[in-house]
Amino acid sequence: MSHSSPTSGAANEQQQYSLAVITFWLAFGTFMIGCSEFAAMGLLPYFAEDFGISEKVAGHAISAYALGVVVGAPLITLFFSRLARRTMLIAMMIFYAGGNLLTALAWSEWTMNAARFIAGLPHGAYFGIAMLFAADIAGKKKRAQAVSNVIMGLAIANIIGVPAISGIGQIFGWRTGFFMIAAGALVTSLMVWKTAPYQGANPDAKPMTELQALKNKDVLLVLLMGAIGFGGMFSVYSYFSASYLNTTGAPEWGISATLLIYGIGVTLGNIIAGRYSEGRLLSSAIAFQVLLGLSAAAYAASMGNPVLMAISLFFIGIGGGMVVPLQTRLMDVAGNAQTLAGAMNHASFNTANALGPWLAGMALSAGYGYAATGWVGVALAGGGVLVWLLIVMSQSARSPQPVSESAR
């Protein structure tokens, strides 16, 4: 579909552009980010061996990346929110290319950690701005679909990109994978520059205005639901390989097959969320949250049975579609602090990425067995449901009249 958008300049000419092409390249950027974030976990044994350190110590590089996401999301959006969104997207991808290039050139544990921290800085800002940009040009009735299309890159990365980068890294060396990701990020920046409309700077965007998002109870509750409720997915995902190897007795290739099934579930969840969330954001969010919790319970109960574990993980992946209604909900409640709220949403998911594995690890250390990773997921999903109830209560207290369809 072609759209027209005003460009800057005295002539106020109309620029023709394709929403499908733009969202493809925005999604290609999230695809490259997903490859870098998750392939690093698969390549960890190889750079650990290269640096002469244990895998546990090498895991600090994963934590450094997550820290970069949490730190970079608010700082970048606060200080650069007045720039045109297209300019920001191009800059973030160039920045991301640089971080992955530094990763490929790292020569020690400390330079690796520093490089991963730098690579993580633009992660949240890119996601937040890309989804806002896509939703803006798509229009209000197609916002959820546009958000879903951008996030789709991350889902596809789990199916195709991560196994490919990991395989290439195993054959040609782990550095090759990060060189390829850096190149892909540069391609993204070039194609966004060529295909996306320039919508002008936002002179009204100011750091103090954006900071109002952190005082907005509705924004904070959405972020809290993501940080807690999404933790269940990561409590299971992070320990799946170890759970599979130590409880099923099945061949090792089943891990890759099951993770592929999980990736298909994530992709399907995004498609469903994009198609059905608009106009019923809160009901969609709770549906995905409940599905995630029930699937985590099924995963725990099926521990040791590789087929049932795979089916459960598939539905856990579908539950990941919750990110779409939460991101779209933020657009409704963030007011003039759209950019910071959008970026912080992805930072909240990285908080979940830290919280879920940490709690699951504590349960394992306490001797509860691998099924505990699923029960931790159930508990975190339950926490997400409680936060959802607070969101509904807050909205009801503010609006005694029937809730509008767009807010549901």
Cα-Cα end-to-end distance for the chain: 28
Question: Are 132 and 85 contacting, i.e. CB atoms less than 8 angstroms apart?
Answer: yes
Q: Which residues contact 367 (CB under 8 A, 6 or more apart)?
A: none
Structure tokens at 168: 């290439």
What pLDDT shows up at residue 403? 47
CA angle 27, 41, 145 (to 5 degrees): 20
198, pLDDT greater than 90: no
What pLDDT shows up at residue 7? 39
Please choose, from the candidates 152, 162, 157, 188, the residue with its C-alpha nearest in 3D space to the C-alpha of residue 324: 152
- Among 126-135, 156-165, 315-324, the minimum mean pLDDT is found in 156-165
Residue spans in the chain of domains classed CATH 1.20.1250.20:
1-205, 207-408
Q: Residue 148 — very low, low, confident or very high, per pLDDT cuts 50/70/90?
A: confident
Q: Residue 404 — very low, low, confident or very high, per pLDDT cuts 50/70/90?
A: very low
Q: Which residue has the higher pLDDT, 318 or 237?
A: 318
Distances from the Cα of 190 to the Cα of 40, 74, 184, 283, angstroms:
25, 25, 10, 38
Please give the average per-residue pLDDT across 149-178, as a whole number: 84
How far apart (Å, rounded) are the C-alpha atoms in residues 341 and 211?
9
137, pLDDT greater than 60: yes
How far apart (Å, rounded) are the C-alpha atoms in residues 25 and 83?
20
What CATH number belongs to 1-205? 1.20.1250.20
**3-state class (DSSP) for residue 250:** coil
What pLDDT shows up at residue 206? 64
Indicate if the alpha-carbon torsion angle 277, 283, 285, 288 is positive or negative: negative
What pLDDT shows up at residue 205? 61
In this prediction, what percent of the chain has a pLDDT beyond 90? 34
What is the assigned CATH class of domain 207-408?
mainly alpha
What pLDDT shows up at residue 10? 33
Please choose, from the candidates 158, 159, 187, the residue with its C-alpha nearest in 3D space to the C-alpha of residue 28: 187
Question: Are 189 and 97 contacting, i.e. CB atoms less than 8 angstroms apart?
Answer: yes
State phi, psi for 6 to the nearest 5 degrees.
-70, 140
How far apart (Å, rounded) are the C-alpha atoms in residues 338 and 332?
9
Please give the average per-residue pLDDT across 297-316, as a whole number: 96
- Among 21-25, 104-108, 331-335, 371-375, the minimum mean pLDDT is found in 331-335
**3-state class (DSSP) for residue 14:** strand
Q: Which residue has the higher pLDDT, 332 or 262?
A: 262
What does pLDDT average to over the chain? 84
How far apart (Å, rounded) are the C-alpha atoms in residues 259 and 42?
12
